Amino acid sequence: MLRQFELVERVKSYDPNADEEGLNRAYVFAVKMHGSQKRESGDPYFSHPVEVAGILTEYKLDYATIVTALLHDTVEDTPASYADIEGLFGKEVATLVEGVTKLSKIQNQAEHTRQAENFRKLVLAMSEDIRVLLIKLADRLHNMRTLHFCQKEEKRKRISQETLDIYAPLAERLGMNRIKDELEDLAFSQLHPEAYQSITSRLNFLREKGGNITEKIVEQLRKDVAEAGIEAEIYGREKRPYSIWQKMNRKNISFEQICDIMAFRVIVNTIEDCYHVLGIVHTKYHMIPGRYKDYISTPKGNGYQSLHTGVIGPFKERIEVQIRTKEMHDVAEMGVAAHWSYRENKPVTMDGKQFRWMRELLDLLNDSSNSDEFLENTKISMYNDQIFCFTPKGDLYGLPKDATPVDFAYAIHSNIGDHCIGAKINGEIKPLRTFLQNGDQIEILLSKTQTPSPEWERFVVTAKAKAAIRRFIRHQKHIQFVEFGKNLLQGLYKEEKVPFNEKELEGVLGFFKQSSVEDLYAVIGEGIVLASDIFYRVHPEQRSAFRKVVDIFRKKSKSISRKSDESNMIKGLVSGIALHYSRCCHPVPGDKIVGIVTTGKGVAIHRADCVMLKKYESEPERWLDIEWKENIMPDATFPVRLVVTVMDKPSGLATLSTAVSKVQSNISHISTASKSGSFIDVVMDVDVKNANHLEEVISALKSLSIVTSVRKEK
């Protein structure tokens, strides 16, 4: 294990200004906090953070990163708190430690590899600061190096699969090939121990059989290059077991058929030298077609640059040769971390083709030509408009920022969305309008009887959820219009004393440009076509009574068209939503009201004190918080049903009617209910503008000498 002074010396070697005292304090703090905790290897636990810090010094990372590495497990695994760290080591380190802790809590539970890309994005989005990710990669590398101590095979396999799916690709994206290679080989040795064994022993066999053929080839290449007067560093290496395994799987070939297990690297000073060396290699040796790749003029997405070619080498062996400059080499091995090590000597130019991906990632698009700015811009801006959340089974869904459980439910399936009544976020019941956070685990609670609530439309952000809710509302409105239209038409048949016959309506569908009887009812309900127009088209022989009935229906249709505007009178409803005023309490403007989402009839408006609301107490998700708009159209009126007990006199009706019209109201319907002695109960619907107006009407009626009581119908 790296000792305290060694670690400090390493940091001081590349950053002479680093805060030595702070590094010492962090080391001592980690040792103290982890106390007698042990790793599975039997080593004291604090050896782990010290080794992680050691790995990061190889990449010459800054003071805050090294201190964070030392402290990275203290908040998670020891009594230390965020506040402790902030007090002792400052805000920057505390924020980084918090970032690593958050990242360590998420686990890829997903079985399918298609989820892996989302999970990598989640890790990136949660990293926020690129240094958090670098520490996490070093942490994972050390854990993989010591994974063989772990007793549980299932755990070893799970961690190895996660490393292969998530962390190795992330290292590759950051251009850190050295870490990527090591992570892959370690994971491979756990996941496929037999294959790993047979590949390594075959490699050993070839090495012995070939003698020191690698060395001989290196010698020959050195001679070739020196003859041309080029300064170069050349070494040979075997391909890694995991990349051989991948190639065997990809090309479906056996290990015996893989012959170019040797690769050679030529490191030169300039780009011109790269192409010069390539020319020499191609002149001296037979080129293998299809193996030449120029990543200098076309770098890989992660900034990797190099020339690759395959030739038949000096001893008739197939070999691969990679040619690159020193700087390209460092970038290939260390990736984004190479920027830190170059900052002392020469500024890294970000205007080249390198690090296109990193540039997006780090939001360095604005004037980032010097390395100091690069250091300051360690915040990851990629995916900050997206969040990633888990299902209880571990499936991962990407959603836009500010998404809610309803969006999540619709993302899974429209059926789940349509029937969701609640959500558990990380095990706790939360309102459906809660904003989801990265890494949340969400369980959607379902009910077969639940339907989409129009209120959802106000907070969902995904197009899928919006469309589904609108579709539902449209459908509800349609059902309501159909029902209403059919009632109107049936009423007219009744008044005309013609037996209602749905079949005969089919004959006029073409004339009214409708494709079904249902659609015909809907246009009546919506007030687009008058029921009387349809009736007299079907029964022209009834036209004599036309005048009389038209008046009745003109009046009714006026109330229909008013109906479609009704949602405009109420705050808190989506415009156009199907609604009706409940018959149990006849709410009018001025009353305190609530909305209840009903199945099939849109929203029912009740007075807040209506006794019927008791029925819905156990279903708070159906309740809508609504109120009247202040400026309701002055001429809009609402029918209220009154029961008036009145002396049975021939002039009674006229007296009532006059009284009502004196207070600017109107009786739209009247009938007698029951008679007892000389008194009669009259049921009448009066049109009123609001609650005050209703009071006026009731007072006016009560003031009449013939009236003994007036009450609103319950």
* Pairwise CA distance, residues 26 & 93, whole Å: 10
Q: What is the smallest separation between the CB atom of 139 and Mn ion, expressed in angstroms? A: 4
Cβ–Cβ under 8 Å, residues 124 and 380: yes
Q: What is the smallest separation between the CB atom of 58 and Mn ion, expressed in angstroms? A: 17
Q: What b-and-e string marks burial along 130-155, b requiring 16 or more CB atoms within 10 Å of the CB?
A: bbbbbbbbbbbbbbbebbeebeeeee
**Helix pair angle (531-538, 546-565), 10° resolution:** 140
Residue with token string 């395994």: 245
Nearer to Mn ion, 156 or 563 (CB): 156
**620 contact partners, CB below 8 Å, separation of at least 6:** none
Alpha-helical runs (H) found in 336-462: 338-342, 356-361, 371-376, 405-412, 414-418
Q: What b-and-e string marks burial along 241-272, b requiring 16 or more CB atoms within 10 Å of the CB?
A: bbebbebbeeeeeebeebebbbbbbbbbeebe
* Pairwise CA distance, residues 11 & 139, whole Å: 18
* Pairwise CA distance, residues 703 & 659, whole Å: 9
Nearer to Mn ion, 46 or 285 (CB): 46
Binding residues for Mn ion, rule: CB under 5 A, are: 73, 139
* Pairwise CA distance, residues 622 & 66, whole Å: 54
Q: What is the smallest separation between the CB atom of 76 and Mn ion, expressed in angstroms? A: 8
Q: Which residue is nearest to Mn ion (CB)?
A: 139
* Pairwise CA distance, residues 444 & 454, whole Å: 19
Sign of CA dihedral 15, 20, 22, 26: positive
* Pairwise CA distance, residues 413 & 424, whole Å: 17
Q: What is the smallest separation between the CB atom of 264 and Mn ion, expressed in angstroms? A: 37
Nearer to Mn ion, 62 or 73 (CB): 73
Nearer to Mn ion, 139 or 526 (CB): 139
Q: Which residues are catalytic?
A: 76-77
* Pairwise CA distance, residues 8 & 489, whole Å: 91
Q: What is the smallest separation between the CB atom of 73 and Mn ion, expressed in angstroms? A: 5
Nearer to Mn ion, 150 or 663 (CB): 150
* Pairwise CA distance, residues 684 & 682, whole Å: 6
Q: What is the smallest separation between the CB atom of 129 and Mn ion, expressed in angstroms? A: 17
Nearer to Mn ion, 127 or 322 (CB): 127
* Pairwise CA distance, residues 705 & 6, whole Å: 107
Q: What is the smallest separation between the CB atom of 137 and Mn ion, expressed in angstroms? A: 11
**Furthest C-alpha separation in the chain:** 131
* Pairwise CA distance, residues 598 & 672, whole Å: 32
Residue 11, token pair as written in the block: 């940091």
Q: What is the smallest separation between the CB atom of 42 and Mn ion, expressed in angstroms? A: 17
* Pairwise CA distance, residues 464 & 452, whole Å: 13
Q: What is the smallest separation between the CB atom of 578 and Mn ion, expressed in angstroms? A: 57
Nearer to Mn ion, 15 or 139 (CB): 139
Nearer to Mn ion, 33 or 278 (CB): 33
Burial class (CB in 10 A: 0-12, 13-18, 19+), 540: exposed
Q: What is the smallest separation between the CB atom of 56 and Mn ion, expressed in angstroms? A: 12
Q: Give the number of other Cβ atoms within 10 Å of residue 573's Cβ.
A: 21
Long-range contacts of 7-16 (CB under 8 A, 24+ apart): 7/50, 7/53, 7/54, 7/57, 7/66, 10/54, 10/57, 11/57, 11/63, 11/66, 14/57, 14/60, 14/341, 14/344, 15/60, 15/62, 15/63
* Pairwise CA distance, residues 75 & 56, whole Å: 20
* Pairwise CA distance, residues 183 & 441, whole Å: 28
Nearer to Mn ion, 139 or 591 (CB): 139
